[in-house]
Structure 1
């Protein structure tokens, strides 16, 4: 198949390599750019770390004040995020194998009074703080990165859409889906884009595409392995 990948780098490149190894043709056109905020880490004692994305792992790993953090119990939303945390040097990593709800369930079992650092982006899904509060666990938010939408599609993507040289596009986040919809509108290729197969990591990702009138297919689990089975 001829596929479009719009997630941010470096994740886009990793996905493209997986797809090409499976025999697909791939165009990579990231619709978001990840930038560090430079925000300081919160003060006070910390008893654990929560990661809801690979971007959060990488932003915390780059932070100048991370020195004592890798030894803390670390909870990751899913397999890929857990693997990234281990690669970044976090030594006690739990893969919560799901979504924000499964992450919250694991964190809720920490002792009451625990303070959990959430290394997060400026845009977040779910209410992790609210889910933990009844259990006496405090989520301490550190907004370490933000995502900047691309101004436009790459000319190669526009040409491929206009010429009918794409079959499907993979969508990993609502924000990326919204960014690519704005970009295809600006390039006047909404019609060809709408006619592609749209493979989505979750129902939340699919929502803006369904509103656009696209054929959105949703993975059984919010993991890349499940997304790729839709191919």
Structure 2
């Protein structure tokens, strides 16, 4: 019988909803987040920014707490994707737009809806992230202030449940959502389990960059999502074969 196990390497927020989506399609989800996320505190400046930029759902909590403290939940928010935009709305922001794409799409959205003379943009990002987006925004004429609101570090050890499932050949697919997290997750996986997974399981990945990491690690069966989104990853996974 075809193994039903699907390892989800996405951390929260996002892990729970992806686990539920995997289960809804008939697969058996196995949680094995590739990252440990540390939150940082954010305070909005006294002169509020003209808008807040969010490139990840990880940045929403810090941004909304800061906006609540400043009584500024009506500040315009621009999110790189639909899921991050929805998290921002659910958290309390009232004016949220989604680029439904990547960083370039976010810059294009800003150019359509935001005027540089209206004030600076606050980019909430992870450590080591958002630098390229900030540069593109500045090239488009915007003033950008970048603040690190979280740090995502690779896990050091894969949980026992995941290793046991791999050893028992119960894993059919592994879902990867970034090149960095894929590299970190593979580095934490014992060598024997790495070789077994690469030989027996498929990988469903969010981008070609992630696929490159896996090919370098010896994976052959890789499916790349049609575009960079968690929904596209689920589409690429498909339903459990009858």
Structure 1 length normalisation: TM-score?
0.91
Q: Could you tell me which residue of structure 2 aligns to residue 97 of structure 1?
A: 100
Unpaired segments of 5 or more residues in structure 2? 238-242
Report if aligned partners of 2:124, 2:149 keep a CA contact under 8 Å in 1: yes
| 1:211 to 2:216 alignment | yes
Unpaired segments of 5 or more residues in structure 1? none
Report if aligned partners of 1:162, 1:189 keep a CA contact under 8 Å in 2: yes
Q: Could you tell me which residue of structure 2 aligns to residue 34 of structure 1?
A: 37
Report if aligned partners of 1:201, 1:222 keep a CA contact under 8 Å in 2: yes
Structure 1 residue corresponding to 2:195, chosen from 186, 191, 195: 191
SS in 1 for 2:125: strand
Q: 1:158/1:187 Cα in 2 relative to 1: closer, same or farther (>3 Å)?
A: farther
Deviation at 1:85, TM superposition (A): 0.6
- Higher mean alpha-carbon deviation, 25-34 vs 62-71, is at 62-71
Q: Could you tell me which residue of structure 1 aligns to residue 172 of structure 2?
A: 167
5 Å-filtered alignment, 1:45-194, equals: 45-63=48-66, 66-109=69-112, 110-113=114-117, 114-124=119-129, 127-184=132-189, 186=190, 188-194=192-198
Q: Over aligned residues, Cα RMSD in angstroms?
A: 1.9
Q: Could you tell me which residue of structure 2 aligns to residue 11 of structure 1?
A: 14
Deviation at 1:210, TM superposition (A): 2.0
Deviation at 1:39, TM superposition (A): 5.1
Structure 2 length normalisation: TM-score?
0.87
The number of equivalent residue pairs is 230
